[in-house]
Structure 1
Amino acid sequence: MTEPTPSPLEPLRQRLAARGEVRSGTVVGFDEDDVVVRLDDDPDVASARVPGYDLSWRRVEHPSEICGTGQRITGEVMRADGQGRVLLSTKACEDEPLRHFLLGIERGSVVTGTVTSVHAFGVFVRIDGESPHPVHDGTGFVRIPELSWSGFGHPAEVVRPGQRVTGEVLVADTRQGQVSLSLKALQEDPWDRLGAGVGDAVPGVVTRLVPFGAFVRVAQDVEGLVHVDDLGGRAVEEGQKLQVRIVEIDRPRRRIRLAPAG
């Protein structure tokens, strides 16, 4: 019984699957919007490709506007695809000061910066010491859930351009050219101030009605749900004060189940 012929790309897959490594090679052609690359370690195999969206911070119609056949190219390893070819991000290596800055930031560290713009999808922050970003008006970015423990309708209710903020680093991503920050991580968790447990009766205020029940605020920035079945046909309205009993606390999922207390 003969052994199956090994794929010539298998050794490459084993060597270069480590995300974040930097490899160089030569452009050998294009596959639609992707750039096909022959890595230096494998001169006889077109062993890598750069997806069009990871080629450059510049917007172009076709990758040939940026590079040509025979040109040397350097990129960061993203992963190996299903055929064992290495996927590279040359965008991650395009702006050396930006890359150097991002590689120097550790997850969990605390950084300070200035809010540069506020959008419905999140907030950009210029972190102290960063070089100008090639596209965005700041390397730091705070997504909506990481802004505050308090409820709000728009991020502009929490921060404003020009405001100094301090946040915890969630991840520094060279491909995205971005540092994901959490302002909430450095704020006191309101659940730590709850001061009540399962079985306790506490006063609350109905904050909103939904088809399956009513949400009741039992502490600042802490709400629980009274299921419609537990209301037993009892009519309640927003703003109404309601004495409730804590039935269940699911801290990992940040949910509290309540029932009317009498």
Structure 2
Amino acid sequence: MSDNQNKTMSELFEDYGVSKIRTGDLIKGTVISVKPEAISINLNYKSDGVLTRDEYSYDFVEDLTNVVKEGDEVEALVVKLGDQDGNVVLTRKPIEEQKIWENFEKLKSEKAIIETKIIEACEFGIFGKVNGIKGFIPKNHISINRNVDPSDFVGKTLKVNILDTKNRKGRKQLVLTSKAIEKLEKEAKAKEVWNTLVEGEIYEGTVKNLQAYGAFVDINGVDGLLHINEISWNRIKHPSEVVNVGDKIKVKVKSIDIENKKLSLSYKATIKSPWAIFCDDNKVGQIVTGKVVRVVDFGAFVTVDDIDCLLHIKDISWLRIEKVTDVVNVGDEISVKIININKKERKVNLGMKQLVEHPFDKFAKDLTVGQIIPVKVTRILLEGVYVHASEDVECFVPIAKVSSERLRTPAKVVKIGEEKDAKITYIDRKGKKLDLTFVLEEKETDEFSSKKGPVSYSSNNNEEFTIGDKLKGLEDLFK
């Protein structure tokens, strides 16, 4: 028997240069034909190898004729020694996968930026493919913005870094982050913006966040603080009274601190102040309507065209009043007259009594000196008494004019609420004042001051005579 008869079929193939292969072997072969959906490869084996489009790569290949041609050498793994046609079934995926993961490690160490298209989303994050490998982006690594919705990213292409290539159990898992890229891009853009910002210039920004102490405004990627005091010319309790998140507003740069990345902004500086508007629209002597917003002991503050103006207690009524609230209260809409505008100190004084004729002028229009008028005692002091000459006119009668007798206190002869007649002794129309006296007839101080003509005297026999009569007999002596 010859040697060949004692050899197995595989040994005979080896004698004739035919390769010996097994499932799982890594082999190389030459492409002998290419079709869009499969490649035939000469493996130097008893049968050719077949590599389908699905097993060629993790990336989708629509037509293999566009990526492979006859004569190319291809490396593949043996999946099965014979299919239904007797061909060796091959795959390139494991080989490609190994190279891909090795490349992932390299990209991770280099912090390289790659792109991935998002194909899926769940409550925990989103999924995309890199070189055919499915990668996961955790929710907290999607964006620098909080509370993002993962479903909003499906279909979008994101720039990512590789965070990890293994999970906690040591198995291969591609974990990505787009937040890191977004942060880097923002920092780069912010650096550029910081170098272009100019103090005193006005920029358009977007309100990003509201706090009790102010608002944060984004200017081309740089966050600036808009303090609550710089939001409105008027006092506000919270920024939301003027601005809301998402609003696009113009702000003026107050100060720039590049080293500490601090930007101070002002919104009110970009709009005309209520004070300037008030001065443009109002003048002294003008009658306006305002709302009482605060009452104090010395008066009330009235808002007119967004400006708080002072209505002093002495300008509320021509009459003396004890309390401001006797006439006006918080919330009242009142008509007032502008009596002074102090532009330097930004103060406005108002008057209510100036809207009506002075009660004295009205009352004293037809009065004359010497006229007797009825009055009512309202207050008693040691120095005299106050009386109402009319409902709106108050006068003071000094103690010397209360009675013809010398008094220690007017209370001895008058009572509060008592009605009396008073004589007008003087009218001061400019000073709005009446001088009055309760002494209606002058007291005779001596007999000479009360009689007109010669004074008569009586003798013991009741004979009346004058000094002149007695001097008649002496006239001749002086001749």
Fold match (TM-score > 0.5): yes
The structure carrying a bigger helix percent of its residues is 2
Identify the residue that residue 246 of structure 1 maps to in structure 2.
424
Q: Supply the RMSD in Å over aligned alpha carbons.
A: 2.6
* 1:103 corresponds to: 279
Distance in 2, matches of 1:139 and 1:226, equals: 40
Q: Secondary structure at the match of 2:360?
A: helix
1:196 alignment partner, one of 364, 367, 387: 367
Contact 2:361 2:429 in 1 (8 A): no
TM-score (norm 1): 0.57
The one-character-per-residue Cα deviations of 1:144-168 (angstroms, maximum 9, x if unpaired) are: 1110123321000010111111111
2:293 is matched with which residue?
Answer: 116
Q: Which residue of 2 aligns with 1:169?
A: 338
| One-letter amino acid of the counterpart of residue 207, structure 1 | T
TM superposition shift of 1:237: 1.7
Residue 155 of structure 1 is matched in structure 2 by 324
Cα separation, 1, equivalents of 2:270 and 2:338 = 23
The residue that corresponds to 1:139 in the other structure is 308
Q: Give me the whole-angstrom Cα distance separating, in 2, the residues matched to 1:95 and 1:217.
A: 53
Q: Is the 8 A contact 2:361 2:432 kept in 1?
A: no
Instruction: Kindly state the Cα deviation for residue 107 of structure 1 after the two structures are TM-superposed.
Output: 0.9
Q: Match of 1:171, as an amino acid?
A: N
Deviation by residue 1:27-46 (Cα, 9 ceiling, x = unmatched): xxxxxxxxxxxxxxxxxxxx
- Alignment identity in percent? 26
Gaps of 5+ in 2: 1-233, 236-253, 256-268, 442-479
Q: 1:162 to 1:258 in 2, by over 3 A?
A: same
Judged with a 3 Å threshold, the aligned counterparts in structure 2 of structure 1 residues 95 and 189 are, in CA distance, closer, same or farther, namely farther
Deviation at 1:178, TM superposition (A): 2.5
Structure (1 or 2) with the larger CA radius of gyration: 2
Stretches of structure 1 lacking an aligned partner (at least 5 in a row)? 1-56, 59-65, 68-92, 132-137
Q: Does 1:125 align with 2:296?
A: no
**Which amino acid is 1:101 matched to?**
I
| Aligned position for 1:210 | 381
Aligned equivalents of 1:166, 1:100: Cα separation in 2 = 22
Q: Residue 433 of structure 2 corresponds to which residue in structure 1?
A: 255
TM-score, with length taken from structure 2: 0.32
2:385 maps to amino acid: A
Q: How far apart are 1:94 and its partner, in Å?
A: 11
Cα distance in 1 between the residues matched to 2:294 and 2:270: 24
Residue 156 of structure 1 aligns with an amino acid whose one-letter code is T
Deviation digits for residues 37-81 of structure 1, max 9, x if unmatched?
A: xxxxxxxxxxxxxxxxxxxx99xxxxxxx99xxxxxxxxxxxxxx
Partner SS for 2:435: strand
Q: Distance in 1 between matches of 2:389 and 2:362?
A: 11
CA contact (8 A) 1:102 1:179 kept: no
Q: Which amino acid aligns with 1:99?
A: W
- CA distance in structure 2 between the partners assigned to 1:254 and 1:221 by the alignment: 12
How many residues get paired? 166
1:120, 1:126 → 2: CA distance? 18
